[in-house]
Amino acid sequence: MEEKVVEMFNRVKGQKPPTNMIVGGLALLVALWAASTCFYKVGTEETGVVLRLGKFSKMTEPGLQFKLPFGIDQVYLVKTGRVLREEFGFRTQEPGVRTTYSPRRMEEESLTLTGDLNVTDVEWMVQYQINDPYRYLFKVNNPETTIRDISEAVVRRVVGNSNVSDVLTVRRAALALQIQSEVQEILNSYEMGVRIVTVRFQDVNPPGPVRDAFNEVNEAEQQKESMILQARAQYNQEVPKARGVARSRILEAEGYAVERVNRAQGEATRFVALLNEYRTAPEVTRQRLYLETMESILPKLEEIYVIDGNGATSPLPLLPLSQARQGGAR
């Protein structure tokens, strides 16, 4: 049995395969290779840039895409949906909830001279996003290095035109916004296809030998700002209160003035009316005024005396009105 198998193997080994079988096998291999190179996948945070025979053809969205095989179409995947960043003066080792940073000092990046000839240790980051993949790939050679060089140059110029107290304390956020605007303007002039998301100072400190003194200055500035805020709060509380009291007093005075004027005008009108009546009937008017006056005065008297023409006086024998009033009141 073994001899027959060996004999059959030798016969097959000695025979050459037909030509059409070889051509078919090669065609199958070429077809399989072409099929494997016709499709590519674009990630959810990526954009595909397709070059056809070395010239820009189109951009493709995330998902499974088709391209011409045999190197006719070349695809570059660019992470347009992710915010990228460049770090200066420090390096992140493991990002996360508790981010860890490299302990290695990078003073060649972080040490910066300010406008008043002081040295500061500035650590910052530039976050950016690719908004035009074609320009990012083909307008500038090595775009990441270009972004780093431009950012470092702008930061050193802006910090170099500022005082050390501005960099360390109150104007840090304003300087970051200025740096972001100038870096974006330069990148636009280069047609980089990059949008700066933010420029943020990670840490700004004076050099080691003078760090304690600068920290004391920083604490004093913070206390100053705190006291200013407290004074403004007190001002906002007291000034409206005083204005309200003043307004109330003014309204009371105006009301009293209106009351007095109206009363005076009423008295004047009443006097003119009495005068007209007196001119019309003097005796009647005189008698009425006398009676009205007595009517208002007599209830206020405790005792009433009647004096006759001879000067003799005697108390009224009748109508003890005052006692009756007091009894009724009790």
178 Cβ neighbours under 8 A, 6+ residues apart: 158
Rounded CA-CA distance 52/68 in Å is: 8
Rounded CA-CA distance 64/36 in Å is: 13
With 0-12 / 13-18 / 19 or more C-beta atoms within 10 angstroms meaning exposed / middle / buried, residue 154 is: buried
Q: What is the pLDDT of residue 183?
A: 94
Sign of dihedral through CA atoms 311, 313, 319, 322?
positive
Rounded CA-CA distance 288/273 in Å is: 14
Q: What is the pLDDT of residue 225?
A: 87
148 Cβ neighbours under 8 A, 6+ residues apart: 86, 88
Rounded CA-CA distance 218/222 in Å is: 6
Of 198, 205, 202, 204, nearest to 179 (Cα)?
198
Q: What is the pLDDT of residue 303?
A: 67
Rg over alpha carbons for the chain, rounded to the nearest Å, is 52
Each residue of 129-170: pLDDT tens digit? 999 999 999 988 899 999 999 999 999 999 989 887 778 777
CA dist 291 to 231, 284, 297, 298, Å?
68, 11, 10, 10
pLDDT at 36 over 50: yes
Of 295, 297, 304, 296, nearest to 322 (Cα)?
304
CA angle 27, 30, 36 (to 5 degrees): 140
Each residue of 282-300: pLDDT tens digit? 888 888 888 888 888 877 7
CA dist 18 to 21, 23, 25, 31, Å?
6, 9, 11, 20
Rounded CA-CA distance 248/277 in Å is: 43
Q: What is the pLDDT of residue 12?
A: 44
318 Cβ neighbours under 8 A, 6+ residues apart: none
- For 207, half-sphere exposure in the C-beta direction (CA atoms, 13 angstrom radius) is 9
CA angle 261, 267, 270 (to 5 degrees): 140
Rounded CA-CA distance 127/86 in Å is: 7
Each residue of 230-270: pLDDT tens digit? 999 999 999 999 999 999 999 999 999 999 999 999 989 98
